[in-house]
Structure 1
């Protein structure tokens, strides 16, 4: 596989969102545990990137095998449908990246906390269950909830545990807005692919509820992310500087406005990904202040 092909199949817009839980988890370790192991933090960031790229490759592989991806498909690497790389090669690369992530994870298990092994196994199994198997979760209405849990609570608490040596209640609270926005990325993707997914028997939320209700849900998810921060600050579960996330509110409005149009919907993943990254960085900064 060439570097160009690797870059395409890694789907860079999704990788930017991967770092958000790690940034928030590191900020939480610094604020609540008053300690940040930089090497452990960098290690788990690398693990996050490896696993996300591996998951993207698995998604590309299984979607091709099941006939979901064509030359007209949006948001894919396209290296299999173009004949540039064989499906088996993509599969092997995905497995190899997961193995490398597992090796890096074992270092954290040995030097930080044994519970990280269970968390890592859960994340790996989640990647396979999401894209593959006879009943892939990505083809059901539960895909967004699945992504919410993995890239929200699981990744943030795992990062805090690895980098700070413990898990605090604030980590669970902070993971809620992060989880909502990453679920919004998947919702945008599924809203864009609603017609194609329906033709192939996939039962995502937009397929089940239709375009207008699907858009209403993605609007609600974005609103819920900001509401979660506001409620957490008012109830003193998050520090008041966390309100810094509201700086990105104009971006949220403009993103939803773009998604309401057909041309904007074609860029659903990078648009929602940008909102997720900007808001996540603001939350991390607010937690450190």
Structure 2
């Protein structure tokens, strides 16, 4: 029998919503919007395939978040005092078995949608999708979790930026273009920054529990500097893409998200306690959301004129 260590008065849909870690879900559906918008000059958008890809990406991201919840509990990283919206097991009395079952269910539903996507595009995507699901599990599962290493930001950025944008473009056009690959770079960077922000906040506790994240290796100041540098790189890359006509000039709408990036960096400076850094984490996630949505809208407008 599995022990539930703590319960809370909070109940109902809010617990399950928090279990999905909704602030991270933009990292799954924003790339789908961008990859689909980039396909506009090539073909008419196949809406059912777009929706299937959108839901499948959200399901895999949700499953990854629940695997994280499960394995952080099993390894003793989550406690009732942990900061953040994770910890549904220790704070709300949900059993680890239930969390794992829901995660597996999300993966199964994503596979079902993946079969439909393969039927209308290519069965090569089955292999890529399987790797994506396996990576979601191994991100915090297995003997050598990716999230406990210095490579978490790179892996999350590549899979949720480059791979999702590439697949979203491919299922509409039947090919992958230089435009899709190049446009995925700033999105990959900003998705990696979401994890970096999380690891900056949790740096002290993670180090005590044996993690070796990039934030731990760089220290607080070094990690914040890298975060700022990656924000700058994403915006500079976007400007270069526009100047070289890889994407339409309307894509510069994404620059409107820049103030959020500045806020995120400022909120991290001089802060040491995890609760103090929660606003910085929120702003970092919002950068990805606003940048991605505005980029998708700009691309859509530019290619529709």
User: 1:1-289 residue pairs with structure 2 within 5 A?
Assistant: 3-31=13-41, 33-82=42-91, 84-262=93-271, 264-288=276-300, 289=302
1: CA distance, partners of 2:188 / 2:213: 18
SS of the equivalent of 1:81 reads helix
Alignment gaps of 5+ in structure 2: 1-10
Partner-residue secondary structure (3-state), 1:214: helix
Normalization by structure 1: what TM-score? 0.95
Structure 1 unaligned residues grouped into runs of 5+? none
Q: Assess if the C-alpha contact under 8 Å between 1:11 and 1:77 holds in 2.
A: yes
The runs of 4+ residues in structure 1 deviating greater than 6 Å are none
**Does the aligned pair in 1 maintain the 2:265–2:280 contact within 8 Å?**
no
How far apart in 1 are the matches of 2:137 and 2:35?
Answer: 24
In the alignment, is the contact (CA less than 8 A) between 1:30 and 1:164 conserved in 2?
A: no
Superposition deviation, residue 79 in structure 1? 1.7
- 1:38 touches 1:163 (CA, 8 Å); kept in 2? no
Q: Distance in 2 between matches of 1:251 and 1:77?
A: 23
